Amino acid sequence: MNEANDELAFEPHEEELLSRVAWHYYHDGLTQSEIGERLNLSRIKVSRMLDRGRKMGLIHVHINSSYGGCFALEAKLQEIYGLDEARVIPAQESGNINDRLAEAASQYLMGRLKDQEMLAVGWGATVMGTLQRLARTLSYRDISLVSLTGGVSAYIEGVASGRSSQNVHLIPAPLVVSQENIAEAIRAERHVVEVMSMARTANYALVGIGAVADEATLIASGYASRSQFEIFRRQGAVGDIIGIFYDQNGVPLDLPFHKMLVGLDFEALSAIPQVIAAAGGPKKVDAIRAAARGGRIDVLITDEPTAQAIIEKDQA
């Protein structure tokens, strides 16, 4: 697991200084040394401030082009699956796909989120990365966060910490419990009911898409076992969103596992105005394709080879 413990808060004064440094650097084109002289800082400190600014999303580079992602693929995805929007990021051999998807997703959301809106979040590594990058934007624009499922406290709290103004509502439970009646009991808890009904009112939902593969985060984090996955696969599962497995048409399966989940169901998820999924990689092609075919998602953020693979399967 990645560390989500970076201290994301800093002094207002420091923030002003950082903004000023960034302005001089990017807009005025001064060198770091020049900025240092002006503001009485060592060159190296200026460098570090810029670094932090970039990491924390204070500095944001936007590529103002229809090709920012691969336009042709985006158009095809939108057309074939009736998506509101598709974002495709260029291919790259090395580097972590999830980080790059998270970058693209956070960028998409930064452009979309308005003041005081509410964002519901699902589960998974990409979602986590996206939230980390969004942390600053969220608090600036007074965005509320709400979880779609249990089991997210660990990483959301990391993101939210240090900012008091932010409204964060988590389902205080694990993603999956061991027995159906326990899940029922948890879902009936007053606090859980409250958060879940709040999640239904969110403006956007940000979700990952899981493949039915041994590397799945669900298995890595102990919420499911390989043998369970094998059973799911036999029953036709090709992927999952917020823990719900669906077949190749994006129709949810009738699995006992689903009864043990603590979180919203597909019906409630679809009722959220815009469901945004960020996922990519060869293992996830079928999972993403099925989700798109079934209309489970409104916005898809993925990478170039994955988009290519998805489209090829549906044009054959």
For 44: left if phi > 0, alpha if psi spans -120 to 50, otherwise beta; the answer is alpha
Per-residue binding letters, 115-154, with a second copy (x by CB under 8 A) = ---------------------xx--x--------------
CB of 50 to DNA, least distance (A): 6
Distance of CA 28 to the CA centre of its chain: 34
3-state secondary structure 164-228: CCCCEECCCCCCECCCHHHHHHHHHCHHHHHHHHHHCCCCEEEECCEECCCCCHHHHCCCCCHHH
Residue 280 binding partner per list DNA, a second copy, none, with a CB distance cut-off of 5 to 8 Å that depends on partner kind: none
Residue 49 within binding range of a second copy, rule CB under 8 A: no
Question: Residue 35, exposed/middle/buried by CB under 10 A (0-12, 13-18, 19+)?
Answer: buried
Residue 38 within binding range of a second copy, rule CB under 8 A: yes
CB of 131 to DNA, least distance (A): 21
CA triple 299-300-306, angle to 5 deg:
165
What Å distances lie between residue 286 and 44, 91, 121, 240, 246, CA to CA? 47, 19, 22, 11, 11
Structure token pair of residue 31: 């060198």
CB 106 within 8 A of CB 134: yes
In the range 160-219, which residues lie near a second copy by CB under 8 A? Answer: none
* Binding span for a second copy by CB under 8 A among 57-65, 163-171, 186-194, 260-268: 57-65
Sign, CA dihedral 209-215-220-225, equals positive
Residue 71 binding partner per list DNA, a second copy, none, with a CB distance cut-off of 5 to 8 Å that depends on partner kind: a second copy
CB of 24 to DNA, least distance (A): 10
CB 39 within 8 A of CB 13: no
Distance CA 99, CA 207 (A): 15
Q: Which of 9, 16, 48, 191 binds DNA (CB under 7 A)?
A: 48
Residue 110 binding partner per list a second copy, DNA, none, with a CB distance cut-off of 5 to 8 Å that depends on partner kind: a second copy
> What amino acid is encoded at 225 in this protein?
S
Residue 95 within binding range of a second copy, rule CB under 8 A: yes
Residue 18 within binding range of a second copy, rule CB under 8 A: yes
Residue 15 within binding range of a second copy, rule CB under 8 A: yes
Residue 42 within binding range of DNA, rule CB under 7 A: yes
70/170 with CB nearer a second copy: 70
For DNA, the binding residues (CB under 7 A) are 25, 31-33, 41-45, 47-48, 50-51
For a second copy, the binding residues (CB under 8 A) are 15-16, 18-20, 22-24, 26-28, 38, 53, 57-71, 89-90, 92-93, 95, 100, 103-104, 110, 136-137, 140
